[in-house]
Structure 1
Amino acid sequence: MVDIATRVWNHRWKIDPIVRSLIDTDFYKLLMCQSVFRNKRDTQVTFSLINRSKSVPLAKMIDEGELREQLDHVRSLSLSRGESTWLRGNMFYGKRQMFRPDFMEWFENLRLPPYTLERRGDQYELTFEGSWPEVMLWEIPALAILMELRGRAVLNSMGRFELEILYARAMTKIWEKITRLRDLDGLKIADFGTRRRHSFLWQDWCVQAMIEGLGNRFTGTSNCLIAMRRDLEAVGTNAHELPMVYSALAPDDAALKRAPYDVLADWHEEHSGNLRMILPDTYGTKGFLEGAPDWLAGWTGIRIDSGDPAEGAETAINWWISRGEDPKEKLVIFSDGLDVEKIEQLHAQFSGRVKVSFGWGTLLTNDFRGLAAGDALSPFSLVCKAVSANGHPTVKLSDNPEKAMGPAEEIARYKRVFGVGEQERRAVIV
């Protein structure tokens, strides 16, 4: 096992680049990328970095030259032969050759497109423009780079023994969480922590701890590189990006209202089984389910990613019942801002009523709260989202208005089209 404190102390980034591979990314990005490559490859998009935690002055903490060096390194990466072989030949969700030959040929020749980086006060403005399949693969590396460089800025001021103690305390903290989770009968939990991790080495350590501590209750990791190296299941399905871009391309209100279902119709053609998971909250869960076609009720389950998670699960259960489906046969994946207490609560509330699973993210792979002076290593809310498609702005409403994004006039239009009324505001931790 890697001595992380020593590696940080002896740090040389050419040995430990923040992003080591094009598959040092979330599995759902590759699944979505293949779908986009098939259905919308000529769409031109812009992705932009959005720091929701304005109290974290990234541009004051992170040297611009170092940031550019890390971003440029990502642009130099391409698939290795071993990575290509793994993607082409491995079994994912019970299916061999998940990735089609035409997509793999394109991916094997890919280099990520250029970026634009400017400083705006205490923050960085980082944008990526180009064809959708290429630009979308910048999201996870960009977030991982900014998160880790912020962590390194804090760690650089620490001495050798301070680093040893910091990581020993962090390891103890994670292990205590894992031992609590052992008490949950029938637990199924995966690592969803790539995008806002403390570092690659730390995420890999957390995954190893989950393997040893939870055994087969640990169902896999969203990180493709770690899944390959640790012989784990790569897990993940799709994200808000798809309906956001499809909706931006809609020519009128009627097409806009259909767009979230058009996304899943395309997905339905490609995937079956546990890959048929609904993410309903992009424009409000309640309205999405009320207007959903009957064939969606037959899908495997739902991922709850914003708003009150218990309320979201209850809404899904009632919807399945109304469509003649048995909720006990359905899977609910909770994935928003989870930590042990919330996992325990949701497991107790919904076990036996539905099949329950958890995607544990930032508070698994980046929980250094209380371990550095002034909470300087506490996680913060950083996202990289599609902000336009073919020149039209994208919008996300979410079940939590604190996560809404897009121009005010377009947010108002989307609320009207999707029938979104008053929403409860919830603090966004990560």
Structure 2
Amino acid sequence: MVDIATRVFDHNWKIDPIVRSLIDTDFYKLLMCQSVFRNKRDTQVTFSLINRSKHVPLADLIDEGELREQLDHIRTLSLSRGESTWLRGNTFYGKRQMFRSDFMEWFENLRLPPYHLERVGDQYELTFEGSWPEVMMWEIPALAVLMELRGRAVLRDMGRFELQVLYARAMTRTWEKIEKLRKLDGLKLADFGTRRRHSFLWQDWSVQAMIEGLGDAFVGTSNCRIAMKRDIEAIGTNAHELPMVYAALAKGDTALRQAPYDVLADWQEEHDGNLRIILPDTYGTSGFLDGAPDWLAGWTGMRIDSGDPATGAETAIQWWKDRGEDPRDKMVIFSDGLDADKIIELHQQFADRVKVSFGWGTMLTNDFKGLVPNDALAPFSLVCKAISADGNPTVKLSDNPNKAMGPSDEIARYKRVFGVGKQDPQEVLV
């Protein structure tokens, strides 16, 4: 097992670049990228870094030269032969050759496109522009770089013993959470923590701890490189990015209202089984389900990613019942800001009513809260989102209005088109 504290203290950039591979990313990114490559490859998209936690002054903490060095390194990466063989030949979700030959040929030749970086006050403006399949692959590594550089900045002046104690305390905290969770009968839990992890080494350690501590209850990781390295399942389906871009491309209100369903119609052409998971909250769950075509009720499950999770699950259960489906045959995946106690609460509330699964993210791979002075390693909310498509602004409403994004006039239009009424704000922690 890697001695993380010593590696942090000795810090050798060549041994520990923040992003080690193009598949040091989330599995859903590759699935979505293949779908985009097939259906919308010429769409021009802009992604932008958004720090929702303005109290964290990233530009004051992170040296611009270091940031550029890490981003430039990512642009040199390409698939290794072993990584290509794994993607081409491995079985994912019970399916051989998940990734088509034309997509793999493109991916094997991919180098990430240029970025634009500028300091604005105490924050960084970081944007990526280009064809959708290329620029979308920047999201996860860009977030991982910013999160880890922030952590390195905080740890830089710590001594060897101080670091050993810090990581011992963090390991103990993680293991205590695992000990709580292992008591749950029928638990199914995956690591979703790549985007806002403390570091690659810490995410890898956390996955190893879950493998040993949870056994079969740990079903895999979203991180493709760790999945390959540890010979475990790669987990992931789709994300808000798809409906956000499809909606931005829609001509008129009628096409806009239809756009989220067009996304899933395209998805259904490629995937079945446990990859047919509905993510309903991009423009409000209630409106999405009210207008959903009947064929969606036959999908495998639903992911709850904003708003109150219990309310979201109850809404899903009632929707299935209303359409003659047995909720006990359906999967509900909770994935928003989870920690051990909330996982336990939701599992106890819903495990006998639906097939419950959890995607555990930031509070698995980046919970150093309260472990350093001034709480300087506390997790915070950093995202990288598509902000325009073919020159049109994107919008996200969410079930939590504090997560909404887009120009105010477009937000108002989307709320009208999708019938979004009063929403209850939820604190955005991560």
Query: Could you report, residue by residue, the CA deviation over 1:257-284 in whole angstroms, capped at 9, with x for unpaired residues?
Result: 0000000000000000000000000000
1:75 matched to which residue of 2? 75
- Counterpart of 2:311, as a letter, is E
Moved over 6 A (4+): none
Q: Structure 1: how far apart are the matches of 2:219 and 2:22?
A: 23
Matched, 1:5 2:5: yes
Alignment of 1:73-222 (within 5 A): 73-222=73-222
1:42 matched to which residue of 2? 42
- Counterpart of 1:82, as a letter, is G
Q: Structure 1: how far apart are the matches of 2:158 and 2:375?
A: 14
Query: Could you report, residue by residue, the CA deviation over 1:356-393 in whole angstroms, capped at 9, with x for unpaired residues?
Result: 00000000000000101111001100000000000000
- Counterpart of 2:212, as a letter, is E
Which SS does the other structure have where 1:47 is aligned?
strand
Q: Structure 1: how far apart are the matches of 2:87 and 2:180?
A: 35
Name structure 1 gaps, 5 residues minimum.
none
Matched, 1:322 2:322: yes
Which SS does the other structure have where 2:352 is aligned?
coil
Which SS does the other structure have where 2:344 is aligned?
helix
2:300 matched to which residue of 1? 300
2:239 matched to which residue of 1? 239
2:334 matched to which residue of 1? 334
Matched, 1:276 2:266: no
Q: Structure 2: how far apart are the matches of 1:168 and 1:151?
A: 16
Shift of 1:113: 0.2
Matched, 1:27 2:27: yes
Shift of 1:28: 0.0
Q: Structure 1: how far apart are the matches of 2:341 and 2:208?
A: 22
Shift of 1:355: 0.3
Q: Structure 2: how far apart are the matches of 1:15 and 1:354?
A: 45
Q: Structure 2: how far apart are the matches of 1:52 and 1:159?
A: 31
Query: Could you report, residue by residue, the CA deviation over 1:135-184 in whole angstroms, capped at 9, with x for unpaired residues?
Result: 00000000000000000000001111100000000000000000000110
Q: Structure 2: how far apart are the matches of 1:184 and 1:215?
A: 12
Q: CA RMSD in A?
A: 0.3
- Counterpart of 2:44, as a letter, is Q
Q: Structure 1: how far apart are the matches of 2:250 and 2:350?
A: 37
Query: Could you report, residue by residue, the CA deviation over 1:22-81 in whole angstroms, capped at 9, with x for unpaired residues?
Result: 000000000000000000000000000000000000000000000000000000000000
Which SS does the other structure have where 1:396 is aligned?
coil
Query: Could you report, residue by residue, the CA deviation over 1:182-229 in whole angstroms, capped at 9, with x for unpaired residues?
Result: 110100000000000000000000000000000000000000000000
TM-score (norm 2): 1.00
2:262 matched to which residue of 1? 262
- Counterpart of 1:92, as a letter, is F
Which SS does the other structure have where 2:384 is aligned?
strand
TM-score (norm 1): 1.00
- Counterpart of 1:166, as a letter, is L
Q: Structure 2: how far apart are the matches of 1:57 and 1:74?
A: 24
Q: Structure 1: how far apart are the matches of 2:193 and 2:323?
A: 34
Which SS does the other structure have where 1:287 is aligned?
helix
Shift of 1:413: 0.1
Q: Structure 2: how far apart are the matches of 1:27 and 1:201?
A: 18
Which SS does the other structure have where 1:126 is aligned?
strand
1:389 matched to which residue of 2? 389
Aligned length: 430
Q: Structure 2: how far apart are the matches of 1:205 and 1:403?
A: 30
Q: Structure 2: how far apart are the matches of 1:292 and 1:394?
A: 21
Which SS does the other structure have where 2:174 is aligned?
helix
Q: Structure 2: how far apart are the matches of 1:168 and 1:317?
A: 42
Q: Structure 1: how far apart are the matches of 2:287 and 2:255?
A: 16
Which SS does the other structure have where 2:201 is aligned?
helix
Q: Structure 1: how far apart are the matches of 2:357 and 2:251?
A: 37
Q: Structure 1: how far apart are the matches of 2:415 and 2:70?
A: 39
Q: Structure 2: how far apart are the matches of 1:172 and 1:351?
A: 28
Query: Could you report, residue by residue, the CA deviation over 1:215-250 in whole angstroms, capped at 9, with x for unpaired residues?
Result: 000000000000000000000000000000000000
Which SS does the other structure have where 1:203 is aligned?
helix
- Counterpart of 2:61, as a letter, is M
Q: Structure 1: how far apart are the matches of 2:393 and 2:130?
A: 15
Query: Could you report, residue by residue, the CA deviation over 1:292-332 in whole angstroms, capped at 9, with x for unpaired residues?
Result: 00000000000000000000000000000000000000000
Q: Structure 1: how far apart are the matches of 2:387 and 2:153?
A: 29
Q: Structure 1: how far apart are the matches of 2:308 and 2:200?
A: 30
Matched, 1:428 2:424: no
- Counterpart of 2:314, as a letter, is E
2:349 matched to which residue of 1? 349
- Counterpart of 2:141, as a letter, is P
Q: Structure 2: how far apart are the matches of 1:231 and 1:199?
A: 20
Q: Structure 2: how far apart are the matches of 1:12 and 1:288?
A: 49
Which SS does the other structure have where 2:118 is aligned?
strand
Shift of 1:14: 1.6
1:289 matched to which residue of 2? 289
- Counterpart of 2:220, as a letter, is G
Shift of 1:12: 1.4
